[in-house]
């Protein structure tokens, strides 16, 4: 007895879904969006951030005021100089003795370091020894090396204490044509110094409890110098009143409040 092979069943044709009208499609999308948002909210517990504050454009004051054509104060934006008496024969700044650099600065300013405001610094330099060896009382701090100009070669960031008093001098040097060039100089009551990218950041105590000054110098390729790009007064979260700056010479460069301050300039 022969069995008849079952005839192959043709595959069912897909059913054509009815076309949704504009209103129906909008309702479906709204329902789908609500489902997705609800699902995300259940999984990640998303919460509303609240209303976004309205942006307010700055108000220009005194529009008829005649703009100034020259600075009223010498701030020292571009402060560079060749350090005389310190050679860099191989062009490598790591071959330069930091103690010799400070001694060269002292020799170039006898009015400040001889019998001047920082005479103790000059006297204690005798404890620094030779070739960078530093004694217990040597005012020269450890030198740090980093490429701050982006040319692939290191610069030297140097610090030394200006005594008597509580000031710390911070200097940055680079090498040009085998000559040592100072591209940044500042002194103040310093609570911290940092190197970040192409910048030197100096933190100083403030007379206002819970705040500190934060100054940032950044390498500028056009001026070939470290320029003061930020001058801010920031909250530290410590409500204790700091000791403040010690009385003494005005920090260099002496300058009026900076317009670049994001909170409050000096």
Report the mean per-residue pLDDT for the chain. 78
Residue 133 — pLDDT band, cuts 50, 70, 90?
Answer: low
Q: Which residues in 175-209 are b (16+ Cβ under 10 Å) and which e?
A: beeeebbbbbbbbbbbeebeeeebebbbbbbbeee
Mean pLDDT of 206-214: 94
Contact present, 96 and 173 (Cβ < 8 Å): yes
Name the residue ranges covered by the structural domains of the chain. Answer: 81-235
The H or E element containing residue 214 is strand 211-220
Report the candidate in 180, 173, 183 with the shortest Cα–Cα distance to residue 143: 173
What pLDDT sits at residue 43? 60
What pLDDT sits at residue 194? 97
Q: Is the pLDDT of residue 27 over 80?
A: no
What pLDDT sits at residue 78? 78
Which tokens hold the place of 257? Answer: 């409040």
What pLDDT sits at residue 29? 47
Residue 69 — pLDDT band, cuts 50, 70, 90?
Answer: confident
Q: Is the pLDDT of residue 13 over 60?
A: no
What pLDDT sits at residue 17? 40
Q: Is the pLDDT of residue 26 over 90?
A: no
DSSP letter at 207?
S
What pLDDT sits at residue 9? 47
d(CA 199, CA 157): 11
Beta strand residue intervals within 81-210, DSSP E: 81-87, 144-146, 155-162, 167-176, 179-188, 192-196, 199-205
Mean pLDDT of 23-36: 48
Among the ranges given (108-112, 170-174, 251-255), the one the predictor scored with the smallest mean pLDDT? 251-255
What pLDDT sits at residue 46? 77
Q: Is the pLDDT of residue 157 over 60?
A: yes
What pLDDT sits at residue 81? 93
The H or E element containing residue 229 is strand 225-235
Residue 231 — pLDDT band, cuts 50, 70, 90?
Answer: very high
Question: Which position has the higher pLDDT, 103 or 39?
Answer: 103
pLDDT digits (tens, 9 = 90+) for 95-122: 999 999 999 999 999 888 877 889 999 9
Mean pLDDT of 177-187: 95
């Amino acid at each position: 007895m022969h069995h008849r092979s079952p005839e192959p069943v043709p595959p069912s044709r897909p059913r054509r879904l009815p076309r949704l009208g504009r209103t129906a499609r909008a309702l479906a999308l709204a329902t789908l969006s609500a489902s997705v948002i609800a699902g995300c909210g259940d999984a990640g517990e998303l919460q509303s951030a609240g209303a976004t504050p309205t942006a307010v454009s700055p108000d220009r004051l005194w529009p008829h005021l005649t703009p100034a054509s020259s600075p009223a104060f010498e701030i020292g934006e571009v402060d560079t100089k060749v350090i005389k008496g310190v050679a860099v024969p191989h062009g490598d700044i790591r071959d330069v003795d930091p103690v010799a650099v400070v001694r060269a600065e002292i020799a170039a300013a006898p009015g400040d370091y001889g019998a001047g405001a920082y005479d103790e610094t000059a006297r204690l330099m005798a404890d620094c020894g030779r070739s960078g060896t530093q004694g217990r009382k040597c005012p020269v701090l450890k030198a740090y090396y980093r490429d701050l100009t982006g040319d692939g070669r290191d610069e030297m960031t140097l610090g030394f204490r200006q005594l008597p008093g509580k000031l710390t001098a911070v200097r940055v040097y680079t090498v040009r044509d085998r000559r040592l060039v100072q591209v940044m100089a500042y002194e103040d009551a310093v609570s911290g110094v940092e190197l970040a990218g192409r910048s030197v950041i100096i933190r100083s105590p403030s007379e206002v409890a819970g705040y500190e000054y934060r100054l940032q110098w950044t390498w500028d390729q056009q001026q070939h110098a470290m320029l003061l790009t930020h001058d801010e007064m920031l909250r530290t979260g410590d409500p204790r009143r700091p000791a403040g700056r010690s009385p003494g010479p005005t920090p260099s460069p002496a300058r009026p409040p900076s317009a670049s301050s994001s909170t409050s300039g000096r």
